[in-house]
Chains A and B, each alone.
Chain A
Amino acid sequence: MSTMTVLNMLTPKDLASDQEVRWCPGCGDYSILAQMKKALAGLGIPREKFVFISGIGCSSRFPYYMNTYGFHSIHGRAPAIATGLKLVRPDLSVWVITGDGDGLSIGGNHLIHAIRRNMDLKIILFNNEIYGLTKGQYSPTSRLGTRTKSSPLGSIDTPLRPLSLALGADATFVARTLDVDINHLTETLKRAAAHKGTAFVEVYQNCKIFNDGVFEYATDKSTKADNVLYLQHGRPLVFGKDRNKGIRLNGLNPEVVELGNGIALDDLLVHDEKAEEPSLAYLLSRMVYPDFPECIGVFRCVERPTYEDVLNKQIDDVLAKRGAGKLEELFASDETWVVE
């Protein structure tokens, strides 16, 4: 093993900054921070090559706690800042940290456009279905009827499904994971890092103070198996404590079926994260508790050229054809005349 390799092997501790972490005790963000350090340490990328860019909100304090380059920007704009950074420095590993309010409400436009361009950005959306930093208003992902200070009679706007939105913008990598499922979380972050293009990851994250237990159905050991479905590429959609339930397609709609009584594994929908069309992934993104188990895992992972690669190719092509530009030539690019 060469010296260089040894130097490049980071430990999670190497990625911890000297700043005191100030999330509330019991916040799901602690787990995401810990798993992020674990995931990045194993990538073999030098620390100085990581950049974390965030917006505003509890989740957006994240960059302060990573000993990498970091930018805690303004509300909703992290994908735009990351876009500019990545355009001039495609060699960097750029991570956007956002939340349901930051990414889907005030910053919804940037999120959509970063995704559709397929910039090589890793966008991690901490979804706690609430505004935490402003002390508990309903968010764009809050379920209908959520009672908060700003919705005392229950929220009346239909919640956004983050993954449906990402798929609608033609995301090339879409995944969902849970703050408390630390192994799955680490693996998902690693998969996101390995993807070339925009990787969009929704993390169900518990807000201990303002929305405690909102994902309990998906995290509680006694109910979890019946309420979530772990996606595996090429495998039928099976779930349940006894692995006896599955998802079958009935026309264009998914339905929950019990295996047996004439229904076999072969009748179930088979997960294909590489499908060219995002239709099935979209359908999975629409499956919502309590009518359906909610899918966890990689919904979609396909290849498409990144924006920066295409731009750089355009630049390389024009340079190959016409050579690097000189100012003399540029200044004289319109007709000129000489005054004696």
Chain B
Amino acid sequence: MTVLNPSTTRSTGEAPVPHQPRHPIPVEEIGEATIRLAGDSGDGMQLAGTQFTHTSALLGNDISTLPDFPAEIRAPAGTLAGVSGFQIHFSSSDIHTPGDQLNTLVAMNPAALKTNLKDLEPGGILIVNSDAFGSGDLHKAGYASNPLEDGSLRGYRVLAVPITKLNREAVAELKLSTREADRCKNFFALGLVYWLYERSLEPTLRWIQSKFSKNPSVMEANTRALKAGYNYGETTEAMPVHYRVSKAKIPPGRYRKITGNEALALGLTAASKQAGLPLLYASYPITPASDILHQLAELKRYGVRTLQAEDEIAAVGAAIGAAFAGALGVTGTSGPGICLKSEAIGLAVMTELPVVIIDVQRGGPSTGLPTKTEQADLLQAMFGRNGECPVCIVAPCSPADCFHMAFEAVRLAIGFMTPVMLLSDGYLANGAEPWLIPDPAKLPKIPVRFAQSHAGSNGNGTAAFHPYERDARLVRPWAVPGTPGLEHRIGGLEKEDITGNVSYDPANHEHMVHTRAQKIANIAKEIPELTVMGPSEGDVLVLGWGGTYGSIVTACQRAQRKGWKVAQAHLRYLNPLPRNTGEVLKRYRKVLIPELNGGQLRLLIRAAYLVDAVGLNKVQGKPFLVSEIEAKIEELLRS
């Protein structure tokens, strides 16, 4: 076992200036690294991870992150249930996933070690807070003996650091309570990891300054803790080497880091601007969608109104009301909320109003795994309503793509007077990547045509407006209250064709069912075709949808590098499917559909195209590892 446990006697309170090592320690240039910061849910690992991500993005790395936290805000301290982790993959080349295996794991307590060690590569760097390995801590995590002493960590490069003690010493002069002092220890650990990967402290120091500007002692404590961690690495020569991951070669332009939920909020706001319509976002708090509400609540200056509704049904109801009134009505939730909204979504289908419904999917059924990711709401989005009730469905493929697909959802909702469901997931929602900031001047306009005049006359001289008289694409007019002469009534009862009056006529009902279905089918003419990455024909096509894009594309790239005839295509439009989907599927001997569900897209594809697609299905609340998809591709090629 390689336990590197350098002397810890010297005080790190007086921090030397970073970047001036006394003894230059060799720097090894590496292409990429994956690290995970893990600790108790009260240890501030999410914050430390976010800071590492931010710093790496600013340094020009490509990044992909995977936060992983328990549903309980504070599970009992030190227990396995309370472990919170944040994984960051940062690279000097283009990457698409948060990484399969860890190069470095930081474990702030035994529970974090126990739950995360399996993901650390053999020989990987393991930084542990040795102060948290007392007998009580070990017992809570279910360790019979101390792994730091019993040899079980042989095979890793273990750096056992008394983080709690060193951190307390670093902030000792500030006379904080022990509790307050210990709150900074995540920054000590972060500082040490910054040293290990040669990151600048500046972005985090700036963040500390602005975040704690009203609380100077906390500002100073976090600053000292961060620097002390960094200097500990440097002055104790904690490792014989440290690492550099250079800037990635990615398309030029201005970038920022963005999570899926942030990107949805920005995409909706941009779409509302480009449509010239006010946005009402009505939502009921639910994990993992609440951040969209938080983001949009801050954007009142951009024509955004938010309503924290009394329940899920009220939220979608308010969005429908706003759409009836001529605004952009949007609601967001997760799977359990979609169940509650289903009847109202049916109302929006019947009344043909443009509403966007966001489903940030999580593990189900029922309350399921609130903080974990899954893709198991596709069939609910397709069919989860009474009657023949088609809606348009779109799904972003990466955190940054959430911007584009939110914009698309709005374009299609308004363009076709239909509810559009957008299926994000917990992985996209909380994961972050660099986003090439678009030029607002180059964003397309979203045309809005409110009905202005009468469509016909009822024969006795008074004008009659026909709310269900359609254009060639079968889209009905949007006539908003307040427009003189267009007074009309809509509702959930079946509509008579053209007039929109209540009708129980059997032939009319069938005609309207077909018309609503055809209208949704017509959307296929106004969405992009399915594109293929890789050979235009071959042995295997890997077809995916939604948040699994990163793992699939990386696996396919690796397969192609091995010379295999493997292509990859990703569906971002799920209803209707791109018009060339069937034609693409036919060009490959086998079709593999990896999904984080029991095979929902596979069911749809097999039904629609009679293709004998094979599934790779995982429901563990976690994204695919690249290696899992790679292995399945290989298995298919060999079979």
- Name A residues whose Cβ lies closer than 8 Å to a Cβ of B: 17-19, 46-49, 51, 53, 56, 63-64, 66-74, 77, 79-89, 91-92, 109-110, 112-113, 311, 314-315, 318-319, 322-328, 330-332, 334-340
Q: Is there contact, CB below 8 Å, between B483 and A48?
A: yes
> Does residue B320 face the partner (Cβ distance < 8 Å to A)?
yes
Q: Is there contact, CB below 8 Å, between A336 and B309?
A: no
Q: Is there contact, CB below 8 Å, between B325 and A49?
A: no
| B507 → A minimal CB distance (Å) | 21
- A53 cross-chain contacts in B, Cβ below 8 A: 321
| A118 → B minimal CB distance (Å) | 14
| A168 → B minimal CB distance (Å) | 15
Q: Is there contact, CB below 8 Å, between B254 and A89?
A: no
| A83 → B minimal CB distance (Å) | 5
> Does residue B258 face the partner (Cβ distance < 8 Å to A)?
yes
Q: Please give me the residue from chain A that is nearest to B262 by CB atom.
A: A334
Chain B window 532-570, contacts with chain A (Cβ cutoff 8 Å), 1 for yes, 0 for no: 000000000000000000000000000000000000000
Q: Is there contact, CB below 8 Å, between A48 and B482?
A: yes
26 residue pairs bridging A and B, Cβ less than 8 Å apart: A18-B458, A51-B481, A68-B487, A77-B314, A80-B321, A84-B280, A84-B282, A84-B321, A85-B322, A86-B321, A87-B318, A88-B325, A89-B480, A92-B325, A92-B481, A110-B313, A319-B301, A322-B301, A324-B303, A327-B269, A330-B299, A331-B266, A334-B262, A335-B58, A336-B254, A339-B254
- A18 cross-chain contacts in B, Cβ below 8 A: 458
Q: Is there contact, CB below 8 Å, between B256 and A339?
A: no
Chain B window 222-260, contacts with chain A (Cβ cutoff 8 Å), 1 for yes, 0 for no: 000000000000000000000000010011111111100
Set B305, B310, B320, B485: member contacting A81, Cβ < 8 A: B320
- A330-B310 contact given A49-B482, A73-B491, A337-B254, CB 8 Å threshold: no
Q: Is there contact, CB below 8 Å, between A80 and B313?
A: yes
> Does residue B592 face the partner (Cβ distance < 8 Å to A)?
no
| B300 → A minimal CB distance (Å) | 5
| B638 → A minimal CB distance (Å) | 41
- B320 cross-chain contacts in A, Cβ below 8 A: 73, 81, 84
Q: Is there contact, CB below 8 Å, between B253 and A84?
A: no
Which of B320, B321, B458, B489 has the largest count of A CB atoms less than 10 A from its CB? B321
Q: Please give me the residue from chain A that is nearest to B489 by CB atom.
A: A70
Set B301, B483, B488: member contacting A325, Cβ < 8 A: B301
Q: Is there contact, CB below 8 Å, between A92 and B58?
A: no
Q: Is there contact, CB below 8 Å, between B492 and A74?
A: yes
Q: How many A-B residue pairs have CB under 8 A?
A: 209
Q: Is there contact, CB below 8 Å, between B252 and A89?
A: no
Set B252, B256, B321, B443: member contacting A332, Cβ < 8 A: B256
Q: Is there contact, CB below 8 Å, between A81 and B437?
A: no
Q: Please give me the residue from chain A that is nearest to B295 by CB atom.
A: A333
Q: Is there contact, CB below 8 Å, between B280 and A87?
A: yes
- A69-B322 contact given A83-B317, A325-B302, CB 8 Å threshold: no
Q: Is there contact, CB below 8 Å, between A48 and B269?
A: no
Q: Please give me the residue from chain B that is nearest to A18 by CB atom.
A: B458
Contacts A322-B301, A337-B60 known; 4 new A-B pairs at CB < 8 A: A83-B318, A109-B314, A113-B309, A323-B301
- A334-B258 contact given A88-B280, A319-B301, A328-B440, CB 8 Å threshold: yes
Q: Is there contact, CB below 8 Å, between A327 and B317?
A: no
Set B250, B302, B307, B310: member contacting A339, Cβ < 8 A: B250
| B342 → A minimal CB distance (Å) | 11
Q: Is there contact, CB below 8 Å, between B437 and A340?
A: no
Q: Please give me the residue from chain B that is nearest to A82 by CB atom.
A: B321
Set A84, A110, A319: member contacting B319, Cβ < 8 A: A84
B470-486 with Cβ < 8 A to chain A: 480-486
- B300 cross-chain contacts in A, Cβ below 8 A: 314-315, 318-319
| A220 → B minimal CB distance (Å) | 36
Q: Is there contact, CB below 8 Å, between A336 and B440?
A: no
Alpha-carbon distance A8/B482, docked complex (angstroms)? 14
Q: Is there contact, CB below 8 Å, between A69 and B487?
A: yes
| A103 → B minimal CB distance (Å) | 14
- A47 cross-chain contacts in B, Cβ below 8 A: 484, 487
Which of B257, B269, B325 has the largest count of A CB atoms less than 10 A from its CB? B325
> Does residue B273 face the partner (Cβ distance < 8 Å to A)?
yes
> Does residue B31 face the partner (Cβ distance < 8 Å to A)?
no
- A69 cross-chain contacts in B, Cβ below 8 A: 481-482, 487-489
> Does residue B203 face the partner (Cβ distance < 8 Å to A)?
yes
- A328 cross-chain contacts in B, Cβ below 8 A: 440
Alpha-carbon distance A19/B495, docked complex (angstroms)? 13
Set A66, A110, A314: member contacting B317, Cβ < 8 A: A110
- A314 cross-chain contacts in B, Cβ below 8 A: 300
